[in-house]
A = this chain, B = another copy of it.
């Protein structure tokens, strides 16, 4: 079994000190020609690999992009960020970078992890996910001049986002879903979402509300807010479906909520007829086009996740290789990409 060749082996073989070997690899100009040649011959004979550490000391680049892997939630919506991670790993590899993973339970823990990663691994950049109002992670990275891109807009920041970002246009997605339901004859179209204050959730609600208003339907009373999850979705949907003037279709902020809504539609106690093979009588549209939506037959909005990942890497490499790393320099220092989701039609609506 081949043992790993170390710098000490090279030094012994060439009859020089380890420091001299290190000098040859890092600052060859300080080493005499004859010694340098002897060390390089030893490097070749022993098959010593000039390693990442040595290269990184010369180039100042680790070729690492760090990103967080989120804890499993209900297992349905978590698949979105997993698919993004697949795309990110592939796009990064094409650009000559590898992805370094970390976990963190909240913003504060994530910032502590930034410190740790910067000290121990020196990633060249970060890709942040799950942006939200008052996101202290981005200001921390900005304060340190650390290059990063967010998958998700800088919510709640007035014009002139202070960093590069990539996002999917959630409002355009729910608007398309609502238009589709209007086109198929629905008027009382409800919205199942999250409590106000979540950037992503408010955006998705807005697309639904403005489309209803444009069609002359008052959205008031037609939406319910709940925490994300199948059971909460079912409860909130039942509330909408059993009101005085019940909704005949539901646009949902996630596939978890949509699955819950479908349970409400199909449950024996519901005020609506139970399932028939042509699809439920109350139309349900989810968001994220997860494997669960596909398996259950839920119409859903698909995010172009591979394209989002590629866009993140493109913006990052521009930050890392370009001259616009510091705000205020020439070029657009904070480029962004807003992608469009697409409606994938299935039996549910």
Residues of A within 8 A of B (CB): 1-4, 6-7, 17-19, 22-23, 26-27, 30, 49, 51-57, 60, 62-64, 69-72, 74-76, 78-79, 82-83, 85-86, 89-90, 93, 98-103, 117-122, 142-145, 230, 259, 268, 277, 290-292, 294-296, 326-327
- Chain B residues with Cβ below 8 Å from A6 are 60
Sample of 23 A–B contacts (CB below 8 Å)? A17-B30, A18-B27, A19-B26, A19-B27, A22-B27, A22-B57, A51-B122, A52-B53, A52-B119, A52-B122, A53-B122, A69-B85, A69-B89, A72-B86, A79-B82, A82-B82, A89-B102, A89-B103, A98-B101, A98-B117, A100-B100, A230-B295, A292-B292
Whether the pair A57, B60 counts as a contact (CB closer than 8 A) is no
Distance of A55 Cα from B295 Cα, bound (Å): 49
Q: Contacts A118-B49, A121-B52 given: A75-B291 contact, CB under 8 Å?
A: yes
> Which residues on the B side are within 8 Å of A60 (C-beta)?
6
| Cα(A62)–Cα(B21), bound, Å | 20
CB < 8 Å neighbour of A86 from B71, B121, B268: B71
Which 10 A-B residue pairings sit nearest by Cβ, starting from the closest? Answer: A75-B291, A53-B56, A82-B82, A99-B101, A292-B295, A53-B57, A1-B145, A89-B101, A52-B122, A53-B53
Distance between Cα atoms of A98 and B19 in the complex (Å): 29
Count of this chain's copies in the oligomeric assembly: 2
Which residue on B lies nearest to A90, using beta carbons? B103
Q: How far, in angstroms, from A277 to B266 measured CA to CA in the complex?
A: 10
Whether A72 touches B76, Cβ cut-off 8 Å, given contacts A54-B57, A292-B292, is no
| CB atoms of A103 and B93 under 8 A apart | yes
A56 to B290, CA, bound (A): 41
Which residues of B are found within 8 Å of A22, using beta-carbon distances?
22, 26-27, 57
For the complex, give the distance between the alpha carbons of A119 and B55 in Å: 10
Which of B27, B54, B74, B143 interacts with A291 by CB under 8 Å?
A: B74
B102 contacts A100, C-beta separation under 8 Å? no
Which residues of B sit under 8 angstroms from A64, Cβ to Cβ?
100, 121
B294 close to A75 (CB less than 8 A) = yes
Cβ of A2: which chain B residues have Cβ within 8 Å of it?
Answer: 143-145
Tell me how far the C-beta of A122 lies from the nearest C-beta in chain B, rounded to whole angstroms. Answer: 5
Q: In the bound complex, what is the Cα–Cα distance between A119 and B56 (angstroms)?
A: 12
**Measured between alpha carbons, how far is A142 from B294 in the docked complex, in Å?**
42
A30 CB contact (under 8 Å) in B19, B79, B83, B296: B19
Interface contact A327-B294, CB-CB below 8 Å: no
Once the chains are docked, how many angstroms separate the CA of A292 from the CA of B74? Answer: 11
Rounded to whole Å, the gap between the CB of A147 and the closest CB of chain B is: 10
Closest B residue to A145 by beta carbon equals: B1
Whether A72 lies near B83 (C-beta < 8 A) is yes
Query: Bound complex: CA of A2 vs CA of B277, how far in Å?
Result: 62
> How distant is A178 from chain B, measured CB to nearest CB, in Å?
24
